[in-house]
Structure 1
Amino acid sequence: MTDPETFIRGLPKTDLHMHLEGSIEPELMLELAERNGIPLRWDTADALRAAYDFHDLQSFLDLYFEGCKVLVTERDFRDVTSAYLARAHLDGVVHAEVFIGPQSFTERGIPIEALMRGVLGAMDEARAQHGITSALLISVHRHRTEAEAMAVLDQILPWRDRVVGVGMGGAEVGNPPSRFARFFGAARELGFRTCVHAGEEGPAAYVREAVEILQVDRIDHGNASMADSALVRDLVERRIPLTVCPLSNVRLRVVSNMAEHPLKSMLEAGLHVTVNSDDPPYFGGYVTENLLACYDALDLSIADVVRIVRNGIEASFITTEGRDSLLYRLDRYVEASRSIEAASV
C-alpha cells in the first residue's frame, strides 16, 4: 500500500453533510460581494479568514448568514456550486449530497427559481466535466416556525424529481426537533428522504426525538448520542447513519481538540458513522482533511478509514445500482493498493 496520506487522499469517497452557503472560499466571497455591490466587513481574503475564530455554533452562524448575502443571482449560485464540486472532485469525492437553505435568500426577494436553476445546472455540468455525481438536500431553519418550513416544501415542488431529501439546521439549543414533526411527516409523504441536525450542541434527547418522532433516515452530527447507551443500541439496530463533521466540531468547540473527538468510540460502538466536511472553508478542511485529522489524532487504522468511507457510500441517498457501483469502485481501489504493496515487497 502507498503511504497512508496518499492512500486516504485517493479513496473514492462521499461528502454527505456539506452546506453550499458555507462552501464559499474567501476569495470567491469577496468576488461575489464586488459583483453584486454587497458591502462586507472584510477587505481581504486574509482578513476574512482571520474572522474564522468561533467560540460556539451561534458565533459561526452569525458570520455564515452574513456570507449568504453575497449570493444574489442564478450565476452566483451556479459559481458557488461549481467551485465546491470542482474542489471536491480534486479531493477524491465521487458523490456529494449538499444542503442549501432557501429561506436565507427568498426572504430577501431572491426568486427560488434562480437558486434552483443555478445549483442544479452546476451539478449537471460537474457530472459531465468531472464525473462526480451529486444530489441536492433542501434545509430549513429550526429557529423559524414550522409554518415557514411548510412553505418551503411548497416552493420546491416544481423540482421534486431533482431534490433527493429535506433536512433542518441552525441554532440547535432551545429548538428541539419535535417542533417540526408535521413538517417532516409531510416531507416523507411527498417522497423526500429526511435528515436533521441533532446532537451537535443539543442533547442526546434531540437525537432520540429525531429518530422516534421525525423518523428521519439520517442524523447530521449526532455526537451527543454517546451519552445515552440505550439510544446508541437503537441507532445501531436501526442502522441509522450519522454524518459526523470532526473539524467542524473542533472549530465550534463541541470538542476541545481532535484527540477528544468521539468518532473512534462511535465506530467501536457499531454506529454507522460517516465523515464529512460541513462548511469546509470555515472549518479548515474538506473531507480528506477531516479523515486525515481523525487518522492522526484518534489512532485509526487504515481499515477504520476504509470502513468510514464505505459507510458514507452505504448511507448515501442514491439508487441501489449507484451505490453498488461506488462500492465496487472502492473495493477496486483498495485491492489495487494492496497489489501495488505486494509487488513492491
Structure 2
Amino acid sequence: MRKSMDRTGRGVVCALASLALSAALSSAVAAPAPMESARIPFTERYHATQHGGIARAANSSVTCKTAAGRTATPCAAVQQGGAGANGHYRMAYIDVDSDARTANSSSATLRIPAGSRVSYARLYWGGSLRGSGQKAAKDNGRVLLAEPGGRYRQVRADTMTGHRPHSATEGFQASAEVTELVRNSGGGAYTVAQINMATGHSTAGVWGGWTLVAAYENKKQPLRRIALWDGFQSLGADRRELSVRLPGLRIPANSHGLAGVVAYDGDRGHGNDTLTVRAGQHRAHTVRDTANPANDVMNSTVTDLGRPTMRWPAYRNTLGFDSDVFDITPALRSGGDRLTFRFTTTRNPGYLLGALFVQTDTRR
C-alpha cells in the first residue's frame, strides 16, 4: 500500500508543481525577511482549550550519499536505522518530486480525523549552511509547500529566524503560519521543497528537515489544552540543560497527554541526550519509547509514540533531524497546573531545539 501511495503522491506533485513553481520562485523578492538571532528564547506561539487535538507531519530533506571514512556504517544500512552520524557521510539532497527546478523536496502525511476543523497550523523548517561549500543565509526565510493534490506555494518566514552564523554547521530554523492553507486542504500528503541547506561533507555534519504542526477542533474528542511553543536554543558545551515551563494547563489526575519535539543535529548512538517532564511539583518522568532511548532521545528519528510515520522517503535514521511525538501520560497521573520539560546533553556539540507542542486532557 505504501508503494502505491508513494507513486500517487509523487505523480500529483510532479504534474501540478510545474504549473506553479515558476510563479512561486518569481515572487521570492516580496517582503523583506524577518530579523535573525543566534538564540531565541522559548515562548508560547499558540494555545487553545477545545475538543480536539494536535497533529504533525515531518520529514528530513537531506540524507547520506557515501561514507566519508572507512569505519562508517554503510549509507544504506544507516538509512534503514543503523547507527551513524551525519559528520561521517557525504550528504545529498532528498528530492521526491522529480522536478528539475527544485533542488530538494520530501513529503509526509498529516493525519487529521474526519469532521475536524484546523484552528491553527505552523510550518517549521531548518538546515545547516556549511558542508563541502557555504550556502548564503539570504534564503533561510523562504520555502515551497504543496498541499495534498495541490501545487507549490511559496511560504515566507513571518517571525524572527534563528540563525547561528558562527557555529560549526551554521544552522538555522525559520517558521510561518499556514492555518488557512491547511484548514482548506485538510489531512493528506504535504510536500516541502527548496529548504536552504548545504550538501557534501563536514566533520560537524550536514542536516535539514521540516515539521508541519496543526491544532484541530473535533467535537467527538475530549476537551484538551493545546499549546505550541518555539524558539531556537543550543544545548552543548555552553549550555548543558534547558527547561521549558508551560503554565495554566489545569490537568486533572489520570489524564492522557502527548508531547512533540522538533530538534536538529542530534546523532544516533552518541547518547547522553535526555528529556524529562514534570506535572506541577510531582516527580519528573523520563521521556522514552521504543525508537528513542532514555539516554539518546535526540537520535535522528521521525516517529509517533515510537512508531514510524507515513512519509516519503521514510529513512529511519534521519541523520541530524528529530521530530518525535511522545506519550507523556505517565507524568500526568497526579495532575497539575503546569508542565516542565527539561532537556539535557553532555555531548559537545549537542543539538538545537526548535519547537515543543503539547496536548493534555483538561477541565473548564
TM over 0.5: no
Name which structure has the greater RCO, CA cutoff 8 Å, separation 6+. 2
Q: Could you state the TM-score of these two structures normalised by the residue count of structure 2?
A: 0.33
TM-score, with normalisation over the residues of structure 1? Answer: 0.34
Q: Which structure's residues are more often helix, by fraction? A: 1
